[in-house]
Amino acid sequence: MAKLWQKSGTKTHPLVTKYIISKDCAQDKLLLKYDILASIAHAKMLAHVGLISKKEAFALVRTLKEIFLLDKKGQFALKQEDEDCHTAIENYLVEKIGDIGKKIHMGRSRNDQVLTALRLYSKEKLQEVQKQVLETAKTILNFAQQHEFVPMPGYTHTQQAMPSSVGQWAGAFVESLLDDVKLLEAAYELNDQNPLGSAAGFGTSLPIDREYTTKKLGFKKLQLNTLYCQNSRGKIESFVVSALFQVMMTLGKIANDMVWFTSTEFSFFNVNKSLATGSSIMPQKQNLDIMEVLRANVHVVMSCQTQIQSVSLNLLSGYNKDLKITKKPLLEAFLIVLESLSIIKLLFSNIIPNLEKLEHAMHPEIFATDQVNRLAQEGIPFRDAYKKTANVLNKIKPPNVIENLKSKKHLGAPGNLNLQYYKNLIKRV
Amino acid sequence: MAKLWQKSGTKTHPLVTKYIISKDCAQDKLLLKYDILASIAHAKMLAHVGLISKKEAFALVRTLKEIFLLDKKGQFALKQEDEDCHTAIENYLVEKIGDIGKKIHMGRSRNDQVLTALRLYSKEKLQEVQKQVLETAKTILNFAQQHEFVPMPGYTHTQQAMPSSVGQWAGAFVESLLDDVKLLEAAYELNDQNPLGSAAGFGTSLPIDREYTTKKLGFKKLQLNTLYCQNSRGKIESFVVSALFQVMMTLGKIANDMVWFTSTEFSFFNVNKSLATGSSIMPQKQNLDIMEVLRANVHVVMSCQTQIQSVSLNLLSGYNKDLKITKKPLLEAFLIVLESLSIIKLLFSNIIPNLEKLEHAMHPEIFATDQVNRLAQEGIPFRDAYKKTANVLNKIKPPNVIENLKSKKHLGAPGNLNLQYYKNLIKRV
Amino acid sequence: MAKLWQKSGTKTHPLVTKYIISKDCAQDKLLLKYDILASIAHAKMLAHVGLISKKEAFALVRTLKEIFLLDKKGQFALKQEDEDCHTAIENYLVEKIGDIGKKIHMGRSRNDQVLTALRLYSKEKLQEVQKQVLETAKTILNFAQQHEFVPMPGYTHTQQAMPSSVGQWAGAFVESLLDDVKLLEAAYELNDQNPLGSAAGFGTSLPIDREYTTKKLGFKKLQLNTLYCQNSRGKIESFVVSALFQVMMTLGKIANDMVWFTSTEFSFFNVNKSLATGSSIMPQKQNLDIMEVLRANVHVVMSCQTQIQSVSLNLLSGYNKDLKITKKPLLEAFLIVLESLSIIKLLFSNIIPNLEKLEHAMHPEIFATDQVNRLAQEGIPFRDAYKKTANVLNKIKPPNVIENLKSKKHLGAPGNLNLQYYKNLIKRV
Amino acid sequence: MAKLWQKSGTKTHPLVTKYIISKDCAQDKLLLKYDILASIAHAKMLAHVGLISKKEAFALVRTLKEIFLLDKKGQFALKQEDEDCHTAIENYLVEKIGDIGKKIHMGRSRNDQVLTALRLYSKEKLQEVQKQVLETAKTILNFAQQHEFVPMPGYTHTQQAMPSSVGQWAGAFVESLLDDVKLLEAAYELNDQNPLGSAAGFGTSLPIDREYTTKKLGFKKLQLNTLYCQNSRGKIESFVVSALFQVMMTLGKIANDMVWFTSTEFSFFNVNKSLATGSSIMPQKQNLDIMEVLRANVHVVMSCQTQIQSVSLNLLSGYNKDLKITKKPLLEAFLIVLESLSIIKLLFSNIIPNLEKLEHAMHPEIFATDQVNRLAQEGIPFRDAYKKTANVLNKIKPPNVIENLKSKKHLGAPGNLNLQYYKNLIKRV
């Protein structure tokens, strides 16, 4: 079937089609479901305001649901001639119900159609990410509780600094993920506004009811100014990906730590062999590829974010085709974040602290600061206590580490991680 | 005076000092005030838990306030030997009150000290940005109301698309800024947690009271896990700058539109000459440099954001010196956003729509879609109405534009911009 | 078949496989050809140094050529179990020629295998890009010569500045592309070094001959230090993409100019309708989507570049799995650049300057600087002449534009574009 | 004094001045010298073609040299009223030699003036960087030769992989830097073209001689098309910084390796204490901050690069003020690269391999691949030898490491690093 805008007598050059159209299909496949949902709401609204009859609306909705089911079964093929999923839907409607199908596009444009589909898609995916983040946090929290007082060196500048614990290390990620949840919520709220009915960006002369579709589609509010609807394309997506990137920052820190902590020199954790991969020539290798790939994927999501941002700049108000390019990095970012979360959950169910290694890892000097503090508590001015200790570093006698950890009792210190607090937070969300 | 960690007998190579230390001064100057506030709270807490006497606390607070006043008058010089503002403060205290000064650093480290100062700084600046965003929104809203029905072509693909208005164009930015306010709030909340007492990242063996300083400093909550405090360095800053970048995206769209809309070919606005600059050889030139610089500054803030993000990746848990590099882009982003907001406010108080140009700008074909809609309302299926109109484009008779605009009555369309809605929103914030 | 490193008794978790392995296939498909070429050279080298017999080498080469032909016909399927194209090749060899196939991996590793394939791939693609750049330059040059003295306003700050010509506008891109050719050459030379035999990064205890494969594969030189071979992964690719990005910068400037110059307000060029696309609701729209997509693609290639760069940082010397992620952006960048070049060639064969519009576009003040210069030549100090002219801007009488253009005779000015110079340069390359 | 374009009766709004003008001074200070050199050449050219008298040229040159000397002594102040260094120069000339000074700007514009100054600046700095790169390479090469056969584990996936040496590790960086030199040359050549006389981008009606200034200023060639001169702003700078970034990639790998190799767990190198810094609370800390800051600076230079690139996109042909923003990241990148090179030179003169640690670092399994190769050489198919060895990993007996290293004799392997090759290359440059 033809493109929606094809006029008789003109033919698009095949290179043009190839350059701008043909690569849409795979992405549009992911958006099809959401476009159908929006189209159903749109058809009902058209009947609601009297632009089409109830019977016509019924036929449209029924046929749209057919597409939905076909798509679910993987039987709704997007053809290259269809240009995009929006066109494929209209073409299918026309094929099946003739003139009624030709009415579906009243009072909307592809510009607001794709915006709406993207918003609905992002809403669903953000909820999914949030759920996965919470589940991942729970898994890590269990791990932290199980190994709360297993000693582990604490590092600054990648140098042994002060005694810490596996519980503190893991707990840090739990708190980080719980912060991320709130950023996802902020992104969710920004995205939760209905652009449908903004048409090409300047509304329509037809008497549509935008509040009706807002309610039907479950949007929290209407995105009012129709030009802003289009101007926010790229902008809202970029903020969504910035929030996703925050999750990746948390996961990436775990990944990078794991790469190092499972190296020969550290050996802090034993990893289930089913998580490792090998080398084509070195039979001894047990590589934690998943952590390296995850670490790299943090950069990929960062680059998805800046690609969306950068493409969206220096463009005139209103829709510009450039913005279509922002679809791919958005979808890619969601995919990576969801997969990466499942990998981290898998990880924490498959690693065990290597107690022997961890116990012997701490260099006596790691307790120097505790010594300084003891002197300070005895009344020696802190800076003097510091200098005094600096001169007798080689005389520091390592204490019982677990007792040392437990003696640090202020909030958030290894002896008072207050892990229960996170448990309550996770429940509450 | 010496660096805090300087031991007798060692000397730092001057190239080392130059490479890592000396460039801090200008930035640290901006943070000094916040470091003093945090130090005062810290000193009071030390007395509160009995680690120092009330009298010692009093001396510390008094001397810290001295520095505050000196700094305010521009009389507290940061010397290169001081390494950073944290050191300068301790050195001053020791000089003035001797052994008492040497006690200020009990139960904290420079790692949490700088974190705390940055958080306090960001809190204040985010509030300032938010206030400026609202004032800018108000200025643009006035402009929109004043010119609500001044016709202006609406563009898609940078081509004339459908009739629009100056009111719609300006209103779009108001709504965009109001969305940005919420993102700033999300960033504010993320940043509003107290890292003080996390020390080097692993707490301290001293019995400090972190809830006390949380209250004293006005933080909404305590950042619990002391390792997470350090792990969130760079992460929180990057999210703050992502939110600032959203503001810049809105302003940048205005700027880019203005560059084009004030070009010879468009001439949509007359700009007060005090806003333009000239050329060294072309006497006729009236350049709107401020809009070009603003447009470029959007990219600068984007790059501040990605610099912070990228520097923070692939680092071991706990503080790493790399993170110090994230200070500069954070401070730069705040500076640019604040200045850019004031420029946009200035702009909208100094431009006037060029009514004559705007009236004649619209090409008759811009009304084609209205014609399609009329046919559709008469019962011709939309897609057929579209094709029909496509064949008679040269026969379209332009209507009275203002009537045309006013006839588009659904929410957000040029005839129903509902500008009052923003007015109420701005008041409520 | 199994992965190369699979040991009996261990099973990789399916999530692990999915996360790190399964997405390779499409990319590896593109690299297969180059891997086969490298494997043939490697097999011959093994025989040359006596590690395998001539007969074995013959069998290996013959079977590798089989794969080559199968792949050419699209009949060599990469299975997910094969992990990557390198494994697929070895598995096929073993299946066909048993023990001999198991010998192919002597003296190499997948690490140098993929490096070599990427280098060979990049060499071929860089040559293709360079050829396309020159052909594009030739097409634009023809266009410039054809319209050498067609007047066109020259812009600074997006404001009319001084008279210029279509020839000057188009000629600027020719010169830009010719500069780009040299950058592609620099990237080609950097990439033209043989990493084969570096194995996992530390060479091999087998007596391989790396100079032999260097010659066989047509590399200009051997990449000596085997660790550097691995350390340069990501680094060399990033420079290749930086060079590709330079080409995109040139093309992107054309694209952005075209978006504006074909807008209603400028209308400087008439574009063949086969290059435009339409709107789903506005029947009058003729959008130059190809230029918008190209403009966006500049940002995509920029993001490919920074993704490769950023992924490659903060990694320990030697191969890290993170680097595998750099394959995709490299391949994507090549694809985009090649397609974009063909679009620009298509463009310049399908646009015609709109003489009427161009003639009337210039505002009289655009000639003010010429007036200043006239006064300056009469002896009035330039700065005074400038001020004098500034006061009589409204009295400037536009000259005959073509004469005006031709009167500017210094090298590179509209009257002396010296287009023949480019013609000679293009021939010479 | 006034701005060059200031007309009587208009006054620029102070916020405008602040936003676009006042931040130039520091950067322009660095460019002043080059602007003077270009102005001298320009003045001589004006006399050469008869636009001014020889006497006038003499006065101009003499006064320009005065500024040069004043600037050298730090006595030529750039005032905010001067807008930029270009204006400051003209204002000084007018003040000193009256009407003659007012003639300096004939046949040029600030647009080509700043371009020329930037090119001259970049030429000088690129040569300086290249020289420093070679000296750094020499220092590292000495280090590599000194410790050629000191054993050191070789890593892949951050896991011990195969035996390597300090010589191989250091040699890898030498080869990397020598590759970088060639990229700097490519950038140098691209930058080595004269834009002077392109004026505002469209040449001038005055009979200037651009080949004369090309020769006088020592440019390799003239940048012909005057519009291309302006279009290449940002483009050429971005390529220069891409080349600088390649140097930073090499240095950053050294830095990241050093951070890890000097950690407690590795302790591969002893570092002179004058290179380390300490902690404010942990008296034992010896942090290698310089390596962390350098590692972060790699990201800063990356961000300078993408900032220049991103600012330069989506701009109309011809000069746009946005491009002025690219000055700062260009100058910053040069500064960082030069300082970082001196830090790396300092490093390699102040570290000593920790022989004891290095000797004991290798895990026996690191020799597994050598065992596989032995079996393969005995005729067992490689893949079978691999599997066989995989089953007896715990029985591997570590050989004499130095003999093992020396036995790997192919080009680039630890036993045949061919370090002399680099020595010859360095000499030749």
Which residues 17-36 of C have a C-beta within 8 angstroms of D?
none
**String of DSSP letters for A358-417:** HHHH--GGGGHHHHHHHHHHTT--HHHHHHHHHTTGGGPPP--HHHHHHH--STTSTT--
Asked if B283 lies within 8 A of C361 by C-beta distance, the reply is no
Looking at the structure, tell me whether residues B143 and B81 fall in a common domain.
no
Lowest pLDDT segment from B188-202, B258-272, B275-289, B336-350: B275-289
Final residue in a domain of this structure, among B47, B73, B106 = B106
Query: Which band of pLDDT confidence, cut at 50, 70 and 90, is reported for residue D80?
Result: low
B158 phi/psi in degrees, rounded to 5: 65, 15
Q: Which of B104, B207, B370 sits opposite A205 (nearest CB)?
A: B370
Looking at the structure, tell me whether residues B69 and B143 fall in a common domain.
no
Instruction: Specify the pLDDT at position D6.
Output: 67
Q: Does A39 touch chain D (CB under 8 A)?
A: no
Final residue in a domain of this structure, among C72, C87, C106 = C106
Q: What residue of B is the nearest CA neighbor of C256? A: B158
Q: What residue of C is the nearest CA neighbor of B160? A: C264
Average pLDDT of chain D, as a whole number? 94
Q: Does C287 touch chain B (CB under 8 A)?
A: yes
Cβ-in-10-Å burial (0-12, 13-18, 19+) of A207 comes to: middle
Inter-chain contacts counted by CB atoms under 8 A, chains C and D:
356
What type of residue is C240? V
For the question of an ipTM over 0.90, the answer is yes
Query: Which band of pLDDT confidence, cut at 50, 70 and 90, is reported for residue A133?
Result: very high
Q: Which of A172, A224, A309 sits opposite B317 (nearest CB)?
A: A172
B428 phi/psi in degrees, rounded to 5: -70, -35
Looking at the structure, tell me whether residues B264 and B338 fall in a common domain.
yes
Q: How many angstroms from the chain centroid is the CA of residue D21?
A: 27
Query: What is the percent of chain C where pLDDT is above 70?
Result: 97
Interface test with D, best of A152, A157, A307 (most D CBs within 10 A): A157
Q: What residue of B is the nearest CA neighbor of D103? A: B281
Whether the pLDDT of residue C253 is over 80: the answer is yes
> Smallest CA–CA separation between D5 and chain C, in Å?
8
First to last CA, chain D: 48
Mean pLDDT score, A86-99: 92
Written as six digits, the tokens of C321 are 């799995």
> Smallest CA–CA separation between C418 and chain A, in Å?
33
Mean pLDDT score, B101-116: 96
Each residue of C363-411: pLDDT tens digit? 999 999 999 999 999 999 999 999 999 999 999 999 999 999 999 999 9
Inter-chain contacts counted by CB atoms under 8 A, chains B and D:
180
Whether the pLDDT of residue A29 is over 90: the answer is no
Q: Which of C172, C227, C256 sits opposite D169 (nearest CB)?
A: C227
What type of residue is D100? I
Instruction: Specify the pLDDT at position A408.
Output: 97
Q: Please tell me the total count of domains within chain C.
A: 2
Q: Rg for chain C (alpha carbons), in Å?
A: 28
**Chains sharing 3 or more CB pairs under 8 A with chain B:** A, C, D
Q: At A221, is the secondary structure helix, strand, or coil?
A: strand
Looking at the structure, tell me whether residues B100 and B56 fall in a common domain.
yes
Asked if D155 lies within 8 A of C318 by C-beta distance, the reply is yes
Which residues of A are less than 8 Å from D393 in CB distance? 283-284
Instruction: Specify the pLDDT at position D282.
Output: 86
Looking at the structure, tell me whether residues D31 and D173 fall in a common domain.
no
Instruction: Specify the pLDDT at position D2.
Output: 60
Q: Are strands A151-156 and A159-165 parallel, antiparallel or unpaired?
A: antiparallel
Helices (H), D362-410: 368-377, 382-390, 401-407
Written as six digits, the tokens of D157 are 């996936």
Whether the pLDDT of residue B415 is over 60: the answer is yes
Q: Which of C299, C324, C346 sits opposite A310 (nearest CB)?
A: C299
**String of DSSP letters for A84-132:** SHHHHHHHHHHHHHGGGGGGTTTT--HHHHHHHHHHHHHHHHHHHHHHH
Lowest pLDDT segment from A139-153, B26-40, C32-46: B26-40
| Contact between A290 and A275 (Cβ < 8 Å) | yes
Which residues contact residue C66 at a Cβ distance below 8 angstroms, ignoring those fewer than 6 apart?
Answer: C96
Cα-Cα-Cα-Cα torsion A262, A263, A264, A268, nearest 10 degrees, comes to: -30
Q: Which of A264, A287, A365 sits opposite D363 (nearest CB)?
A: A264
Which residues of C are less than 8 Å from B264 in CB distance? 153, 159-160, 363
Q: Of residues D420 and D18, which shows the higher confidence score?
A: D420
Asked if B408 lies within 8 A of A4 by C-beta distance, the reply is no
Q: Does C7 touch chain A (CB under 8 A)?
A: yes
Mean pLDDT score, B339-360: 96
Partners of D221 in the beta sheet?
A: D193
B159 phi/psi in degrees, rounded to 5: -110, 145
Q: Which of A159, A279, A369 sits opposite D263 (nearest CB)?
A: A159
Asked whether residue B255 is domain-assigned, the answer is yes
In the numeric block, the tokens 């090499």 are attached to: D250
Which residues 53-92 of D have a C-beta within 8 angstroms of B?
86-87
Whether the pLDDT of residue A22 is over 60: the answer is no
Q: Which of A106, A224, A321 sits opposite B157 (nearest CB)?
A: A321
> Smallest CA–CA separation between C223 and chain B, in Å?
28
> Smallest CA–CA separation between D71 and chain C, in Å?
24
Asked whether residue A377 is domain-assigned, the answer is no
Question: D63 is in which domain, residue-wise?
Answer: 17-106
Mean pLDDT score, B193-202: 97
Asked whether residue C422 is domain-assigned, the answer is no
Q: At C277, is the secondary structure helix, strand, or coil?
A: strand
Instruction: Specify the pLDDT at position B21.
Output: 72
Which residues contact residue C64 at a Cβ distance below 8 angstroms, ignoring those fewer than 6 apart?
Answer: C36, C39, C40, C43, C89, C93
DSSP annotation of D6 reads P
Q: Are strands D151-156 and D159-165 parallel, antiparallel or unpaired?
A: antiparallel
Asked whether residue C418 is domain-assigned, the answer is no
Lowest pLDDT segment from B384-393, C152-161, C174-183, D50-59: B384-393
Looking at the structure, tell me whether residues B130 and B32 fall in a common domain.
no
Mean pLDDT score, C200-210: 97
Cα-Cα-Cα-Cα torsion C235, C241, C246, C250, nearest 10 degrees, comes to: -170
Q: At D317, is the secondary structure helix, strand, or coil?
A: coil
The CATH number that applies at residue C340 is: 1.20.200.10
D232 phi/psi in degrees, rounded to 5: -85, -5
Looking at the structure, tell me whether residues C273 and C352 fall in a common domain.
yes
Query: Which band of pLDDT confidence, cut at 50, 70 and 90, is reported for residue D326?
Result: very high
Asked whether residue D281 is domain-assigned, the answer is yes
Q: What residue of D is the nearest CA neighbor of B336? A: D19
Distance (Å) of CA A418 to CA A107, A135, A148, B230, D238? 56, 19, 10, 18, 50
Q: Does B253 touch chain D (CB under 8 A)?
A: no
Query: Which band of pLDDT confidence, cut at 50, 70 and 90, is reported for residue B427?
Result: confident
Asked if A307 lies within 8 A of C297 by C-beta distance, the reply is no
Interface test with B, best of D23, D103, D295, D303 (most B CBs within 10 A): D303
Q: How many angstroms from the chain centroid is the CA of residue A316?
A: 29
**Chains sharing 3 or more CB pairs under 8 A with chain D:** A, B, C
Looking at the structure, tell me whether residues D83 and D174 fall in a common domain.
no
Looking at the structure, tell me whether residues A98 and A116 fall in a common domain.
no
First to last CA, chain A: 48
Partners of C165 in the beta sheet?
A: C151
Cβ-in-10-Å burial (0-12, 13-18, 19+) of B102 comes to: buried
Written as six digits, the tokens of A305 are 């974010």
DSSP annotation of D287 reads B
Asked whether residue C2 is domain-assigned, the answer is no
Q: Does B39 touch chain A (CB under 8 A)?
A: no
In the numeric block, the tokens 């830009």 are attached to: C176
Asked if C280 lies within 8 A of A5 by C-beta distance, the reply is yes
Q: Does D310 touch chain A (CB under 8 A)?
A: yes
Instruction: Please give the Cα distance from A308 to A391 (Å, whole number).
Output: 55
Asked if B306 lies within 8 A of D303 by C-beta distance, the reply is yes
Asked whether residue D122 is domain-assigned, the answer is yes
Instruction: Specify the pLDDT at position D17.
Output: 87
Which residues contact residue B174 at a Cβ distance below 8 angstroms, ignoring those fewer than 6 apart?
Answer: A225, B137, B140, B141, B144, B419, B422
| Contact between B122 and B191 (Cβ < 8 Å) | yes
Each residue of D223-244: pLDDT tens digit? 999 999 999 999 999 999 999 9
Asked if C322 lies within 8 A of A292 by C-beta distance, the reply is yes
Each residue of D255-308: pLDDT tens digit? 999 999 999 999 999 999 999 888 888 888 888 999 999 999 999 999 999 999
Query: Which band of pLDDT confidence, cut at 50, 70 and 90, is reported for residue B28?
Result: confident
Cβ-in-10-Å burial (0-12, 13-18, 19+) of C129 comes to: buried
Which residues of C are less than 8 Å from A199 in CB distance? 281
Q: Which of A168, A179, A390 sits opposite B7 (nearest CB)?
A: A390
Inter-chain contacts counted by CB atoms under 8 A, chains A and D:
109
DSSP annotation of B322 reads G
> Smallest CA–CA separation between D157 and chain B, in Å?
14
Distance (Å) of CA A286 to CA A17, A270, A280, A353, C403? 47, 11, 11, 17, 76
Asked if A161 lies within 8 A of D282 by C-beta distance, the reply is yes
Mean pLDDT score, D150-165: 97
| Contact between C381 and C391 (Cβ < 8 Å) | no
Which residues of C are less than 8 Å from D239 in CB distance? 183, 242, 246
Instruction: Please give the Cα distance from A202 to C258 (Å, whole number).
Output: 24
pTM of the model: 0.97
Asked if A260 lies within 8 A of D260 by C-beta distance, the reply is yes
Average pLDDT of chain A, as a whole number? 94
Looking at the structure, tell me whether residues A244 and A99 fall in a common domain.
no
Whether the pLDDT of residue A201 is over 90: the answer is yes
Asked whether residue C200 is domain-assigned, the answer is no
Final residue in a domain of this structure, among B48, B83, B106 = B106
Query: Which band of pLDDT confidence, cut at 50, 70 and 90, is reported for residue C1?
Result: very low
Q: Does A349 touch chain C (CB under 8 A)?
A: no
Whether the pLDDT of residue D83 is over 90: the answer is no
Per DSSP, which regions of B133-195 are E strands? 151-156, 159-165, 193-194
Looking at the structure, tell me whether residues C122 and C172 fall in a common domain.
yes
Query: Which band of pLDDT confidence, cut at 50, 70 and 90, is reported for residue B78?
Result: confident
Instruction: Please give the Cα distance from A324 to A312 (Å, whole number).
Output: 10
Lowest pLDDT segment from A10-19, A30-39, A102-111, D133-142: A10-19
Q: Give the largest Cα separation in chain D, rounded.
A: 94
Which residues 149-208 of B have a C-beta within 8 angstroms of A?
154-158, 161-164, 168-169, 171-176, 179, 182-183, 185-186, 189-190, 197-208
The CATH number that applies at residue A47 is: 1.10.275.10
Whether the pLDDT of residue D43 is over 90: the answer is yes
Mean pLDDT score, C199-209: 97
Q: Of residues C80 and A104, which shows the higher confidence score?
A: A104
Looking at the structure, tell me whether residues D239 and D146 fall in a common domain.
yes
Query: What is the percent of chain D where pLDDT is above 70?
Result: 96
Partners of A152 in the beta sheet?
A: A164
Whether the pLDDT of residue A9 is over 70: the answer is no
Instruction: Please give the Cα distance from B265 to B282 (Å, whole number).
Output: 18
| Contact between B143 and A146 (Cβ < 8 Å) | no
Instruction: Specify the pLDDT at position B279.
Output: 82
